[in-house]
Structure 1
Amino acid sequence: MSPMSDRGETMWVAGCGLRYWNHGDGTTVVLTHGAGTDHTIFDAQVEFLAQAGHRVITWDLRGHGRSVPWDEPFDPAQAVEDLASLLERLSVVRAVLIGHGLGANISQVLARRYPERVRALVVIGAASNTARVTLRERLGHLVRSALLRRTPARALPGRLADISATTPGARALAGRAFHRMSKERLLELWAAPRRLHRRRRLYRSRVPLCLVRGEHDRSGVASSMRRWAPRELIREVVVPGAGHLVTLDAPKAVNAVLGAFLEELQPPARTL
């Protein structure tokens, strides 16, 4: 059970009851999970951040976790508006957005559209929404998509779990989440990040940025992130031994990265 499951609330946006969890005080940190999973992929980060004195908000994307039922096609643009509505409902003025996978793509759009509402952005296991997509990346996506489409429906959740994580516990959690969805929904979600891509030449983030991925991330984001980091004049953080679900494969390593990044955002202490 998630550390904040017993304190969850629901808000209704565009026909869906979105479940969210709000805990603590201090710098507001909003965590958005990726395709097919739910807020529990951040359980270790929620506990760490809350103990560090931050206000921590997690939520389930529509059609995921406890934000169900939802039988309409998943619209990533609506998910951006869902996140904006969540910030408004909770009177969040400037948040640190932390997103994984699709959640990171959604967070990128909101940070680009409303930079005044975002203090910083942490992208975990996701490609840039604005960078050029290379021919090799396009071909890789086509090959992976074709393989997933050919995978029998009963086998697809297990296959996705195997390629998403390197540790048994992370694979088990992912498998349980993916088994709750149809093959059509899983394939729809797999393609959703690309629908948020809008190439913008020479674009650089208007808020402080942190890029994190697992060493063995097989989702195809590694090449994009390697090109992205130099453009932002930062270094990507590659977590050894972890896969795409790096928050589950290596929670302590991710917590250390988040802790250091958030510490850098704090204003220097005044001296007399």
Structure 2
Amino acid sequence: MPYMNFKDLNMYYEDMGCGEPILFLHSHFSRSLLAFGAQIQPFQGEYRCLFPDFRGHGRTKCESLEWDSRKIADDMAGFLDALEIPSAHLFAYSFGTTVGMYMASKYPEKVRSLIAIGAGTEPNPEGSEDFLPESIIKRNDTRMIRDMTARHFEAHRGNWETFMEQTVLDWRQHPNLTEEEWNALSCPLFFINGDSDPFGSCRQLKEKCPRAETFEVPNCGHGPHFVMEHAKEVNERALDFLRELGSGVCTDSTAGC
């Protein structure tokens, strides 16, 4: 599987399909293919799909164990440069939506559109204390320890405590866009949220970005694009959004691959 060396990173990623590029931006506790398992087959038939593991996550390697949403947004811009991709659509989930919004506001020339699932407008630290290492150890949550150690072993070299501390710190501080950054979101936007998502709502996002398209998924929480939730409908809506932008399959079998 491919790795890309740039900046201080040896970044792991998957590259599937052919056509205009879509950069998938994953969630906090996950890594790319785990966060978007239900999107791989539907999207790679029409687009070149890029699934990187962020700094500090999955199989991406870096000497520093420190990261945050803004640093990762810079990484994603650098990742596109390293692949010689001038611009891409963004498909983001949860923490990835924060990365995507920072990236779209700072590097508008690199972002063709942003589809954001489970986005919020401000930090929501409620419940984050349950994910601190001392809380996990206190309740003897061996499954969480095992999962985080295995899932991010290459990135954190088995140091699951530092991974959880970094995650909670980022969770408590982001998203934190300035008014100028909100106004700089000039690309086509599509926000998708479950109607019972505790981290954000389409109404709040529409107040910040009045021209954005939104889809509030009924009877759903934070992950409407998951296989066991509403993946089929979310995928259809997202693909329709992209098609209406005039994007899609590359007719030249060698271009964009």
1:211 has 2:205 as partner: no
| Aligned match for 2:58, one of 58, 62, 65 | 65
Counterpart code for 1:152: I
Q: Does 1:253 find its partner at 2:236? A: no
Q: CA deviation at 1:174?
A: 9.2
1:18 Cα shift?
A: 0.6
Which letter does structure 2 place at the counterpart of 1:87? L
Say whether residues 1:91 and 2:68 are aligned partners: no
Which ranges of structure 1 fall in alignment gaps of 5 or more residues?
A: 1-7, 160-172, 268-272
Q: 2:22 aligns with which of 29, 45, 53?
A: 29
Greater share of residues in helix: 1
DSSP-derived class of the 1:30 partner: strand
Are the structure 2 counterparts of residues 75 and 143 from structure 1 closer, same or farther at C-alpha, using a change threshold of 3 Å?
closer
Question: Partner letter of residue 128 of structure 2?
Answer: S
2:205 to 228, 236, 241: 228
The aligned counterpart of 1:191 is: 169
Equivalent residue for 1:145?
128
Residue 166 of structure 2 aligns to which amino acid in structure 1? E
Per-residue deviation, 1:57 = 1.0
Look up the equivalent residue of 1:144 and give its one-letter code: G
Q: Would the aligned equivalents of 1:18 and 1:59 in 2 still touch at CA under 8 Å?
A: yes
8 Å CA contact 2:190–2:214 kept in 1: the answer is: yes
Aligned match of 1:5: none
Q: In 2, Cα distance between the equivalents of 1:178 and 1:13?
A: 20
Q: Which amino acid aligns with 2:141?
A: A
Any idea what SS the aligned residue of 1:82 has?
Answer: helix
Change (3 A) 1:116 1:176: same
Question: Who is 1:49 aligned against?
Answer: 43
Distance 1:158 1:65 in 2: 15
Partner of 2:75: 82
How has the CA–CA distance of structure 1 residues 186 and 257 changed in structure 2, closer, same or farther, with 3 Å as cutoff? Answer: farther
- TM-aligned CA deviation for residue 69 of structure 1: 6.5
Instruction: Establish whether residue 265 from structure 1 lines up as the match of residue 251 from structure 2.
Output: no
Give the distance between the partners of 2:32 and 2:82, measured in 1 at CA.
18
Checking the alignment, whether the CA contact within 8 Å between 1:178 and 1:186 is kept in structure 2 is: no
Distance 2:106 2:99 in 1: 11
Give me the whole-angstrom Cα distance separating, in 1, the residues matched to 2:141 and 2:64. Answer: 22
The equivalent residue for 1:3 is none
Query: In the alignment, residue 209 of structure 1 is paired with which amino acid?
Result: L
Does 1:16 pair with 2:2?
Answer: no
Deviation at residue 66 of structure 1 after TM alignment: 1.6
- Unaligned 5+ segments in structure 2 are 248-257
Cα RMSD between the aligned structures? 3.0
Q: Decide whether aligned partners of structure 1 residues 250 and 183 sit closer, same or farther in structure 2, where only a CA change above 3 A counts.
A: farther
Query: In structure 1, what is the Cα distance between the partners aligned to 2:143 and 2:245?
Result: 38
The structure-2 alpha-carbon separation of the partners of 1:17 and 1:155, relative to structure 1 and needing over 3 Å to count, comes to same
Contact 2:57–2:152 under 8 Å retained in 1? no
Contact 1:148 1:156 in 2 (8 A): no
Distance 1:177 1:257, change over 3 A: farther
Say whether the 8 Å CA contact 1:62–1:70 is kept in structure 2.
no
Structure 1 residue 221: Cα displacement:
2.1
Once the two structures are superposed, the pairs formed by residues 167-186 of structure 1 within 5 Å of their partners are 177=151, 182-186=160-164
Alignment length, in residue pairs?
233
CA positional deviation for 1:245: 2.7
